[in-house]
A and B are shown apart, each in its own frame.
Chain A
Amino acid sequence: MFKEYTKITNIIGDIIELSAEGVTYRELAAITNHNGDTSLAQVIRIDGSKVSLQVFAGAKGMSNRAAVRFLGHPMRVPYSEDLLGRIFSGSGKPIDGKPEIANAAETDIGGPSVNPVKRVVPRNFIETRIPMIDIFNPLVESQKLPIFSTPGEPFNELLARIALQAKADIVILGGIGLKFDEYIGFRRKFEEGGIMDRTVMFVHTAADPVVERLLVPDMALAVAEQFGIAGKRVLVLLTDMTAFADALKEISVAMEQVPSNLGYPGSLYSDLASRYEKAVDFEGAGSITVLAVTTMPGGDVTHPVPDNTGYITEGQYYLVNGVINPFGSLSRLKQLVIGKVTRDDHGAVMNAMIRLYAKALESKKKISMGFEKTETDEKYLRYAELFEERFMSLRVDIPLNDALDLGWKTMAECFDRSEIGVKKEVVDARWPKGA
Chain B
Amino acid sequence: MIDSSLTTGHVVGINGNMMAVEVDTGSVVQNEVAFVKLPDAKLKAEVIKVIGKKCFLQVFEDTTGISVGMPVEFTGNMLAVELGPGLLGQIYDGLQNPLLLLENKQDFFLQRGQYKDPIDRAKKWDWKPLAAVGDRVRAGQWLGEVPEKFITHRVLAPLGMHGSAVVKKILPEGQYPITEKVAELEVNGKTVVVSMSQEWPVKKAIKAYKERIYPEELLITRQRIIDTMFPISRGGTSCIPGPFGAGKTVLQHLISKFSSVDMVIVVACGERAGEVVELIHEFPEMKDPKTGGSLMDRTIIICNTSSMPVAAREASVYTGITLGEYYRQMGLDVLVLADSTSRWAQAMREMSGRLEEIPGEEAFPAYLESRIAGLYERAGLVQLHNDKHGAVTLIGTVSPAGGNFEEPVTQATLKVVGAFLGLSRKRSDERKFPAIDPLDSYSLYIDQMGESLNKNLDREWTKMVHEAEDLLRRGAEIGKMMTVVGEEGISIDDLVAYLKSEMLDFTYLQQNAFDDIDCAATIERQVADFKLLYKALKTPFSFETKPEARKFFIELQDNFYQKNYAAESSPEYAKFVSKIEEIIVSGGGRLV
Task: Using A25-B67, A116-B273, A121-B278 as known contacts, say yes or no to A330 and B245 having CB atoms under 8 A apart.
Answer: yes
Asked if A22 contacts B67 (CB within 8 A), the reply is yes
Residue pair B67, A302 in contact (C-beta under 8 Å): no
* CA distance in complex: A307, B353 (Å): 21
Q: Which B residues lie within 8 Å of A74 (CB)? A: 64-65
**CB nearest to A328 among chain B residues:** B429
Partner of B109, one of A112, A260, A283: A112
- Tell me which residues across on chain A come within 8 A of B307, comparing CB atoms: 113, 270, 273-274, 277-278
Judge whether B152 is part of the interface by a CB distance below 8 angstroms. no
Known: A112-B62, A266-B346, A316-B245. 13 other contacts (CB 8 A): A25-B66, A47-B12, A113-B308, A259-B363, A261-B401, A266-B363, A267-B346, A273-B270, A277-B272, A302-B401, A307-B402, A310-B244, A328-B429
Instruction: Determine the distance from Cα of A266 to Cα of B349 in the docked complex, in whole angstroms.
Output: 7
Answer yes or no: B338 CB below 8 A from chain A CBs: no
Most A CB contacts (10 A, CB to CB) among B14, B274, B356, B364 go to: B274
A312 x B15 contact (CB < 8 A): no
A-side contacts of B102, CB under 8 Å: 115
Instruction: State which of B12, B66, B346, B362 has its C-beta within 8 Å of the C-beta of A48.
Output: B12
Q: Are B305 and A274 in contact (CB under 8 A)?
A: no
User: Is the pair B68, A49 in contact by a Cβ cutoff of 8 Å?
Assistant: yes
User: Whole-angstrom distance from the CB of A245 to the nearest CB of chain B?
Assistant: 14
Encode contact with B along A102-132: 1 for CB under 8 Å, 0 otherwise. Answer: 0000001001111111111110000000000
Question: Are B67 and A24 interface neighbours, CB within 8 A?
Answer: yes
Cα A74 to Cα B64 with chains together (Å): 8
Q: Contact at A114–B64, with CB atoms within 8 Å?
A: no
With both chains docked as a complex, state the minimum distance between the C-beta of B113 and any C-beta of chain A, in angstroms.
10
Contact mask for chain B residues 391-409; partner A; CB cutoff 8 A; 1 contact, 0 none: 0000000010111100000
Q: Mark B269-299, 1 if CB is under 8 A from A, else 0.
A: 0101110111011000000000000000000
Q: Tell me if B273 and A277 are in contact (CB < 8 A).
A: yes
A118 and B404 form a contact (CB under 8 A): no
- Is A270 within 8 A of B64, CB to CB? no
B353 touches A23 (CB 8 A): no
Q: How far is the CA of A117 from the CA of B101 in the complex (A)?
A: 10
**B310 near A: Cβ within 8 Å?**
yes
User: How near does chain A come to B354, taking the closest CB pair, in angstroms?
Assistant: 8
A-B contact pairs, 11 of them (CB 8 A): A21-B68, A25-B14, A25-B63, A74-B65, A260-B364, A266-B349, A270-B270, A270-B306, A270-B307, A311-B244, A314-B274
> A285-326 interface mask toward B, CB cutoff 8 Å, 1 = contact, 0 = none?
100000000000000001110011011101110000000000
Tell me which residues across on chain B come within 8 A of A328, comparing CB atoms: 429
Instruction: Tell me how far the C-beta of A47 lies from the nearest C-beta in chain B, rounded to whole angstroms.
Output: 4
**Which residues on B are within 8 Å of A, measured CB to CB?**
12-16, 20, 62-69, 91, 99-100, 102-103, 107-112, 243-245, 270, 272-274, 276-278, 280-281, 303, 305-308, 310, 343, 346, 349-350, 353, 356, 359, 362-364, 399, 401-404, 429, 486, 514
Q: Determine whether A180 belongs to the interface, using a CB cutoff of 8 Å to chain B.
A: no
Residue pair A113, B401 in contact (C-beta under 8 Å): no
Given A112-B110, A302-B402, A26 contacting B346 (CB threshold 8 A): no
Per the bound structure, the CA–CA distance linking A255 and B280 in Å amounts to 40
For window 230-262 of A, CB contacts with B under 8 Å fall at 257-261
Does the CB pair B245–A315 fall under 8 Å? Answer: yes
Interface residue total, chain A, C-beta cutoff 8 A: 64
Interface membership of A431, Cβ < 8 A: no
- Does A282 belong to the interface (CB within 8 Å)? yes
Pairwise interchain contact A115-B276, C-beta atoms closer than 8 A? no
Question: A47 is contacted by which of B13, B274, B403 (Cβ under 8 Å)?
Answer: B13
Contact of B65 among A25, A304, A335 (CB under 8 A): A25
A contact residues around B14 at 8 Å (CB): 25, 45-46
**A386 CB, nearest partner CB in chain B, Å:** 23
Could you say which residues of chain B place their CB within 8 Å of the CB of A303? Answer: 402
Q: Using Cβ atoms and an 8 Å threshold, which residues of chain A touch B308?
A: 113
Known contacts A26-B65, A266-B353, A282-B108; is-contact A116 B305 (Cβ 8 Å)? yes
Is there contact, CB below 8 Å, between B276 and A116? Answer: yes
| Contact across chains for A120 and B363 when beta carbons are under 8 A apart | no
* A261 to B91 CA separation, bound complex (whole angstroms): 34
Chain A 59-87: CB-based contact to B (< 8 A → 1; otherwise 0) = 00000000000000010000000000000
Q: Which residues of B contact A47 (CB under 8 A)?
A: 12-13, 15, 20
Cα distance, A215 to B102, chains bound together (Å): 30
Which chain B residue lies CB-closest to A111? B109
Q: A46-B15, A267-B350 are in contact. Are A113 and B109 (CB under 8 A)?
A: yes
Name the B residues within 8 Å of A274 (CB-CB): 306-307
Are the C-beta atoms of A46 and B401 separated by less than 8 Å?
Answer: no
A44 to B16, CA, bound (A): 7
A residues sitting closer than 8 Å to B (CB atoms) are 21-27, 44-49, 74, 108, 111-122, 229, 257-261, 265-267, 269-270, 273-274, 277-278, 280, 282-283, 285, 302-304, 307-308, 310-312, 314-316, 327-328, 330, 332-333, 335, 371
User: Do B272 and A314 have beta carbons less than 8 Å apart?
Assistant: yes
How far, in Å, is A62 (CB) from chain B's closest CB? 22
Q: In the complex, A108→B349 CA distance in Å?
A: 28
Q: Which of A45, A49, A115 contacts B103 (CB 8 A)?
A: A115
Closest-by-CB residue of A relative to B279 is A116
Q: What 9 pairs across the A-B complex have the smallest Cβ distances?
A: A302-B402, A273-B306, A277-B307, A310-B244, A260-B363, A113-B307, A26-B64, A24-B67, A47-B13
Cβ–Cβ contact B310 & A307, under 8 A: no
Interface centre among A114, A117, A327 (most CB of B within 10 A): A117
Chain A hits for B277, CB < 8 A: 116, 119-121
On whether A269 and B110 interact (CB within 8 A), knowing A24-B66, A277-B273, A310-B245, the answer reads: no
Tell me the smallest distance from the CB of A371 to a CB of chain B, in Å.
8
CA distance A116 to B305 in the complex (A): 8
Q: A266-B350, A273-B306, A274-B306 are in contact. Are A48 and B68 (CB under 8 A)?
A: yes
Partner of A113, one of B16, B91, B110, B363: B110
On whether the beta carbons of A122 and B274 are closer than 8 Å, the reply is yes
B274 A269 Cβ-Cβ under 8 A:
no
Q: Chain A residues near B486 (CB, 8 Å)?
A: 371
- A236 to B404 alpha-carbon distance, docked (Å): 32
Determine whether the beta carbon of B306 is less than 8 Å from that of A112. no
Contact status A24-B272, CB under 8 Å: no
The minimal Cβ–Cβ distance linking B286 to chain A, given in whole angstroms, is 14
Q: Measured between alpha carbons, how far is A118 from B107 in the docked complex, in Å?
A: 9
User: In the complex, are the beta carbons of A117 and B108 less than 8 A apart?
Assistant: no
Q: Which residues of chain B come closer than 8 Å to A117, judged between CB atoms?
A: 91, 99-100, 103, 280
In the bound complex, residues from chain A placing their C-beta under 8 Å from that of B350 are 266-267, 270
Residues from chain B with a CB closer than 8 A to the CB of A229 are 108
Q: Give the residues in chain B near A116, CB-CB below 8 Å.
A: 91, 99, 273, 276-277, 280, 303, 305
| Closest chain B residue to A336, Cβ basis | B278
| Minimum distance in angstroms from A401 CB to a CB of chain B | 23
A242 to B273: give the CA distance in the assembly, Å.
23
Minimum CB–CB distance for B105 against chain A, Å: 10
Once A116-B276, A117-B91, A117-B280 are accepted as A-B contacts, the answer to whether A312 and B363 lie under 8 Å apart by CB is: no
Residues in chain B near residue A330, CB distance under 8 A? 245
Residue of A whose beta carbon sits closest to that of B19: A25
Most chain B CB within 10 A, of A23, A303, A312, A327, is at A312
Q: How far is the CB of A305 from chain B (nearest CB, A)?
A: 11
In angstroms, Cα B64 to Cα A44, docked, is: 10
State whether A307 touches B401 (Cβ < 8 A).
yes
Of the candidates B69, B364, B401, the one whose C-beta lies within 8 Å of that of A304 is B401
A313 CB, nearest partner CB in chain B, Å: 8
Q: Which of A108, A115, A116, A327 has the most CB of B within 10 A?
A: A116
Q: Knowing A45-B15, A260-B363, say if A119 contacts B402 (CB, 8 Å).
A: no
Cα A203 to Cα B383 with chains together (Å): 63
A90 vs chain B, min Cβ distance (A) = 20
Closest CB in chain B relative to A114 CB, distance in Å? 5
B110 contacts A114, C-beta separation under 8 Å? yes
Q: How far is the CB of A20 from chain B (nearest CB, A)?
A: 9
Which residues of the other chain, B, contact A44 by a CB distance below 8 angstroms?
15
**Bound-state Cα–Cα, A136 to B364, Å:** 39
